[in-house]
């Protein structure tokens, strides 16, 4: 018997063209799911889908744009016929700087992608999942959403909101066969770190008791359980993948 088997299921993973999202997409495909590699970067999404093989297809989407999200999810549903899993992974760090050096546009941009994007993607699948009385939604938050990293006010606020959003939505669909959970990673070495200064990355690493960064595959392992039918009595929760950094 295979645990966490996803045979016959379809997953949409946003931000799957690189980093944590790519590792999640590869892991879900390996477990038997057909995976939509949903990303704003169409070329990179196509490359990852090709590398995964017949179990994956690229899906161009800007998660901050409601028209783009509606179009993309309609396309995914048409291609796959069913959507069982949504992993809201796409996100940006924004500018690493104190509040007094943040522009309104820059701040709003982070909220638009990291928070409104999660809302739009969940709204795009929720009717379908409720009708089928099955769904697994996994939102990638961050330890910054629990602790608040200095110089990352927009990012920290957006990720705290994603954790609260997860708890709210989890309760709304608790009787519909849908489980909604979040994962809060600490620092994982991906391209998102290019948006930060070395000092900012040092600050974050020093707070990890395991004294190392995480690997994208270590986040994907946690997501895999939460995306599977085995996750049947767990909803509205936030799981840390933080090398012990979180204290609650």
Ligand X SMILES: NC(=O)c1ccc[n+]([C@@H]2O[C@H](COP(=O)([O-])OP(=O)(O)OC[C@H]3O[C@@H](n4cnc5c(N)ncnc54)[C@H](O)[C@@H]3O)[C@@H](O)[C@H]2O)c1
Contact positions with ligand X (CB under 6 A) in 102-121: 113, 117
Of 6, 21, 27, 180, the one binding ligand X (CB under 6 A) is 21
Q: Binding to ligand X by residue 76, rule CB under 6 A? A: no
Is 155 an annotated catalytic residue? yes
Of 77, 97, 111, 192, the one binding ligand X (CB under 6 A) is 192
Residue 97 or 111: which CB sits closer to ligand X?
111
In the complex, the smallest distance separating the C-beta of residue 206 from ligand X, rounded to whole angstroms, is 14
DSSP characters for 168-230? HHHHHTTTTTEEEEEEEE--B-SGGGGGS-HHHHHHHHHT-TT-SPBPHHHHHHHHHHHTSTT
In the complex, the smallest distance separating the C-beta of residue 192 from ligand X, rounded to whole angstroms, is 3
Residue 104 or 194: which CB sits closer to ligand X?
194
Q: Binding to ligand X by residue 28, rule CB under 6 A? A: no
Alpha carbons 230 and 38: distance in angstroms, whole number: 25
Whose tokens are 């966490």? That residue is 4
Beta strands in 17-90 (DSSP E): 34-39, 56-60, 85-88
76: left (phi over 0), alpha (psi -120 to 50) or beta: alpha
Annotated catalytic sites, by residue? 155
Give me the residues that bind ligand X (CB under 6 A), please. Answer: 14-15, 17-21, 39-41, 61-64, 89-92, 113, 117, 140, 142, 185, 187-188, 190-192
């Amino acid at each position: 018997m295979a645990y966490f088997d996803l045979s016959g299921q379809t997953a949409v993973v946003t931000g799957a063209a690189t980093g944590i999202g790519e590792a999640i997409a590869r892991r879900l495909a390996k477990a038997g799911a057909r995976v939509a590699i949903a990303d704003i970067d169409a070329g990179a999404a196509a490359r990852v889908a090709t590398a995964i093989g017949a179990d994956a297809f690229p899906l161009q989407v800007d998660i901050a744009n409601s028209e783009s999200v509606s179009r993309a999810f309609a396309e995914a549903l048409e291609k796959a016929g069913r959507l069982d899993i949504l992993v809201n992974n796409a996100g940006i760090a924004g500018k690493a700087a104190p509040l007094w050096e943040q522009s309104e546009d820059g701040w709003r941009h982070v909220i638009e992608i990291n928070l409104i994007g999660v809302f739009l993607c969940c709204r795009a699948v929720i009717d379908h999942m409720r009708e089928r009385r099955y769904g697994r939604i996994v939102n990638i938050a961050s330890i910054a959403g629990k602790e608040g990293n200095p110089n990352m006010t927009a990012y920290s606020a957006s990720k705290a909101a994603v954790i609260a959003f997860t708890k709210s939505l989890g309760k709304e669909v608790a009787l519909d066969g849908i489980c909604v959970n979040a994962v809060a990673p600490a620092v994982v070495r991906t391209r998102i770190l290019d948006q930060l200064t070395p000092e900012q990355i040092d600050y974050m690493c020093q707070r990890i008791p395991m004294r190392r960064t995480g690997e994208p595959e270590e986040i994907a392992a946690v997501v895999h359980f939460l995306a599977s039918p085995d996750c049947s009595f767990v909803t509205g929760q936030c799981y840390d993948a933080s090398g012990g950094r979180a204290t609650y």
